[in-house]
């Protein structure tokens, strides 16, 4: 009976919402890593393709002499400007990935049934995280925009455009926009989970008041 109750939890609305949170956090982590690993736009797919083409100098095939060295320097400086932001986003995504996994494990082990106040603690944590997501997203996007508005990015964009390369525009790219949208979706999922935790708390409290009906 205990094992059956543990498995039944995975079919509840709160468990489904928590699994959605795990998926959203994983996607945020992936998008943040793409932002960190992206050289800024040019991927180059002629012969070697992707990152290999870029790493082995193919991306600078249109440059010569000082222009090629300058392009490499600007790429490195641009990458270093974005690196702290991307790492912070990856750290937040990793924490958001672990958090619902821990809550699923706690609920499968029937901790909320034996200690119903845990559901109120869970609700409080969800509300705090949902509210904290808003300034975190603002910091993430504003920091990226400040990087794209920097002189390094502007000079880099002009240098590549002068050689006919496209994709080095100083604006948010798809993975960064996706990370912001996923963060908004995660905040809404946290608020929904908070409401479900309160509902489950009332259900557990009512069931404990009527042990004979169990």
- Classify residue 129: in a domain, yes or no: yes
Q: Alpha-carbon distance 139 to 141, whole Å?
A: 6
- Classify residue 61: in a domain, yes or no: yes
pLDDT of 189 > 60? The answer is: yes
Looking at 55-64, 69-78, 147-156, which range is the least confident one?
55-64
Q: To which residue do tokens 């690196």 refer?
A: 83
Residue-level pLDDT at 109: 82
Residue-level pLDDT at 48: 33
DSSP summary character for residue 62: T
Question: Which residue blocks in the chain are alpha helix, DSSP H?
Answer: 2-9, 13-37, 50-55, 66-108, 111-114, 117-148, 151-162, 174-209
Helix or strand run (H / E) with residue 210: none
Residue with more model confidence, 113 or 59? 113
126-175: pLDDT as tens digits: 999 999 999 999 999 999 999 999 999 898 888 888 877 777 788 888 88
- Classify residue 9: in a domain, yes or no: yes
Residue-level pLDDT at 127: 95
CB 194 within 8 A of CB 123: yes
Mean pLDDT of the chain, nearest integer: 80
- Classify residue 214: in a domain, yes or no: no
* pTM more than 0.95: no
Residue-level pLDDT at 169: 82
Residue with more model confidence, 74 or 125? 125
pLDDT of 112 > 70? The answer is: yes
- Number of structural domains the chain divides into: 1
**Residues spanned by the domain of 154:** 2-209
pLDDT of 53 > 70? The answer is: no
- Classify residue 58: in a domain, yes or no: yes
- Classify residue 49: in a domain, yes or no: yes
């Amino acid at each position: 009976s205990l094992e059956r109750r543990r498995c039944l939890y995975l079919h509840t609305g709160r468990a489904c919402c928590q699994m959605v949170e795990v998926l959203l956090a994983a996607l945020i982590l992936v998008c943040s890593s793409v932002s960190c690993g992206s050289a800024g736009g040019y991927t180059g797919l002629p012969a070697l393709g992707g990152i290999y083409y870029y790493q082995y100098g193919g991306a600078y095939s249109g440059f010569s002499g000082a222009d090629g060295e300058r392009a490499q320097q600007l790429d490195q400086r641009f990458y270093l400007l974005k690196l702290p932001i991307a790492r912070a986003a990856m750290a937040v995504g990793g924490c958001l990935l672990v958090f619902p996994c821990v809550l699923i494990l706690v609920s499968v082990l029937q901790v909320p049934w034996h200690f119903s106040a845990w559901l109120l603690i869970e609700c409080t944590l969800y509300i705090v995280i949902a509210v904290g997501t808003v300034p975190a997203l603002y910091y993430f996007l504003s920091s990226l925009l400040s990087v794209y508005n920097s002189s390094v990015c502007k000079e880099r964009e002009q240098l590549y455009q002068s050689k006919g390369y496209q994709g080095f525009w100083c604006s948010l790219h798809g993975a960064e926009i996706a990370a912001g949208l996923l963060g908004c979706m995660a905040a809404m999922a946290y608020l929904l989970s908070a409401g479900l935790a309160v509902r489950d708390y009332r259900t557990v409290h009512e069931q404990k008041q009527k042990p004979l009906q169990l």
